[in-house]
């Protein structure tokens, strides 16, 4: 079982960022509204930059989907870099201490898994401070880096780029990940502007001098730089740890998904175009996503997943016995998650919402309407109920569904 811990606030960790992945999810969900509209939007955005080739572990293959819902299960890795290289700035002086340059660090890494029958999905967050085995990763010039028995997870992007992050998660979980995307600071701001802001609930005030974020308790609509600062905040939420930040990101993401489902975002061509344009101008995609058909196909596979069936969870961890500022995989719960992903079984949470979140006390009085899912065009398998019984996770695994209204609690 995971144990409470506060990561040391070393200068090298200040300003390390958070949830760029969130806005990739906006695009995936937004494009699910209509295949015709989605294809038109992606085609009119313009040329998509050449994609990054993902090296596969032995025995793995990746086949890009065609137009129509992607057949079978989908695994997509969403990576956020904290690099300041080429970014617009606007960061506080404290936030810029030991700021990353070049490739940066993957301080946010989330795996989107859509089930084979397209009835459920999960988003698994991997902590930046997780100590993992890193396989040999492709390097420029055709060489391969030496494998590491134990390394901090957020070093994998700088070690070997997006392919190295994918290979590490594949080795950790035992699944194949054919699709991946990387997004930076500017992408967060551009895409939060495009969606018109996200209303989040704050149980207590949030004050974080590192990101320059100061918010009062209550409902707050976040857009642009404020949205970026909120999803990046670590010192201002929960117990000040990266694990607390993950649950804060889940508060934001679930609110974002509820807005997309209820505020007409899916039916507004102007908004859809703005989201697609903001994403493509601020992202690096794997070559399996460079074909315009690929993101549309993934979106169509996701469109039948209702909010209660979209589960956000933190990959199970426990304190590293050799370093109080690091975590390691909590072996038994982690294996349950891995097996569920490998066998395409739904994940069912039984624990709490995480260190920086609490249930919204007003949610019971004003529940969020859940839209009726529309069967995807992948065939009868997508429209039929899932035959998988689901895996009930222990209470040590934290998270929430997209349907649950939660509030962030400040540190």
CA–CA distance, 300 with 282 (Å, rounded to integer)? 23
The CB density around residue 359, as the number of other CB atoms within 10 Å, is 16
Give alpha helix (H) positions in 196-286.
224-232, 242-262, 269-280
What is the dihedral angle through the alpha carbons of 62, 67, 68, 71, rounded to the nearest 10 degrees?
A: -10
Contact 63, 293 (CB under 8 A): no
At 120 the three-state DSSP class reads coil
Question: What pLDDT does residue 103 have?
Answer: 53
Structure tokens at 334: 């982690």
State pLDDT tens for residues 80-119: 876 544 445 544 444 443 444 445 788 889 999 999 999 9
- Helix 185-195 to helix 269-280 angle (10° resolution) is 180
Q: Cα dist. 63→60, 100, 173, 176, 265 in Å?
A: 10, 34, 20, 11, 30
Torsion-angle region of residue 72: left (phi > 0), alpha (psi -120 to 50) or beta?
Answer: left
Question: What pLDDT does residue 49 have?
Answer: 62
CA atoms within 13 A on the CB side of 357: 31
Query: Strands, DSSP E only, in 191-338?
Result: 198-202, 206-208, 213-215, 218-222, 283-285, 310-314, 317-320, 323-329
* Alpha-carbon radius of gyration of the chain: 19
Question: What pLDDT does residue 66 have?
Answer: 52
* Region 19-56+65-408: CATH code: 3.40.630.190
Which residues lie below 8 Å from residue 20, measured CB to CB, with a gap of 6+? 78, 79, 80, 81, 108, 182, 183, 184, 185, 187, 188
CA atoms within 13 A on the CB side of 210: 22
CA–CA distance, 202 with 60 (Å, rounded to integer)? 44
CA atoms within 13 A on the CB side of 221: 5
Question: What pLDDT does residue 373 have?
Answer: 44
Successive 10-residue mean pLDDT values, the chain, 411 residues: 42 40 48 47 52 68 56 90 52 45 74 95 95 94 93 93 96 96 76 83 94 94 89 91 91 85 67 69 82 72 86 97 95 97 96 93 56 41 51 96 95 87
Contact 269, 277 (CB under 8 A): no
CA 135, 298, 349: angle at the middle one, nearest 5? 70
Query: Strands, DSSP E only, in 50-184?
Result: 74-81, 106-114, 121-125, 131-134, 148-152, 179-183
CA–CA distance, 207 with 228 (Å, rounded to integer)? 14
Q: What's the order of all strands across the beta sheet hosting 74-81?
A: 283-285, 179-183, 74-81, 106-114, 121-125, 310-314, 399-401
Question: What pLDDT does residue 24 have?
Answer: 47
- Helix 269-280 to helix 35-44 angle (10° resolution) is 50
Q: What is the DSSP string of 83-98?
A: B-TT------TTTTTT
Structure tokens at 344: 């395409």
């Amino acid at each position: 079982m995971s144990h409470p811990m506060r990561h040391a606030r070393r200068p090298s960790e200040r300003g390390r960022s958070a949830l760029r992945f969130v806005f990739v999810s906006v695009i995936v969900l937004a494009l699910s509204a209509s295949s015709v509209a989605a294809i038109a939007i992606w085609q009119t955005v313009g040329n998509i930059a050449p994609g990054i080739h993902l090296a596969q572990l032995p025995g793995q293959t990746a086949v890009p989907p065609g137009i129509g819902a992607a057949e079978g299960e989908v695994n997509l890795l969403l990576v956020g870099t904290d690099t300041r290289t080429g970014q617009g700035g606007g960061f506080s002086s404290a936030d810029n201490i030991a700021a990353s340059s070049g490739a940066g660090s993957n301080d946010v890494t989330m795996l989107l898994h859509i089930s084979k029958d397209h009835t459920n999905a999960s988003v698994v967050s991997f902590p930046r401070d997780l100590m993992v085995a890193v396989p040999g990763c492709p390097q420029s010039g055709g060489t391969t880096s030496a494998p590491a028995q134990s390394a901090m997870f957020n070093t994998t992007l700088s070690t070997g780029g997006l392919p190295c992050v994918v290979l590490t998660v594949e080795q950790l979980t035992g699944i194949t990940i054919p699709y991946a995307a990387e997004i930076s600071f500017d992408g967060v701001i551009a895409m939060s502007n495009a969606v018109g802001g996200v209303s989040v609930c704050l149980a207590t005030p949030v004050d974080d001098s590192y990101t320059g974020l100061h918010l009062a308790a209550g409902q707050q609509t976040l857009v642009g730089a404020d949205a970026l600062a909120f999803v990046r905040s670590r010192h201002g939420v929960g117990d000040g740890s990266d694990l607390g930040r993950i649950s804060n990101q889940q508060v934001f993401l679930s609110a974002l998904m509820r807005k997309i489902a209820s505020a007409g975002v899916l039916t507004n061509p102007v908004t859809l175009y703005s989201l697609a344009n903001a994403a493509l101008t601020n992202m690096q995609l794997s070559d399996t996503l460079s074909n315009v058909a690929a993101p549309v196909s993934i979106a169509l596979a996701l469109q039948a997943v209702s909010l209660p069936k979209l589960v956000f969870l933190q990959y199970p961890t426990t304190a590293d016995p050799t370093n109080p500022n690091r975590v390691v995989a909590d072996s038994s719960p982690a294996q349950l998650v891995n097996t569920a992903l490998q066998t395409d079984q739904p994940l069912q949470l039984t624990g709490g919402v995480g260190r920086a979140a609490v249930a919204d006390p007003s949610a019971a009085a004003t529940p969020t309407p859940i839209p009726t899912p529309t069967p995807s065009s992948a065939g009868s398998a997508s429209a039929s109920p899932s035959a998988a019984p689901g895996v009930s996770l222990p209470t040590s695994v934290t998270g929430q569904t997209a349907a649950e209204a939660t509030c962030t609690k400040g540190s």
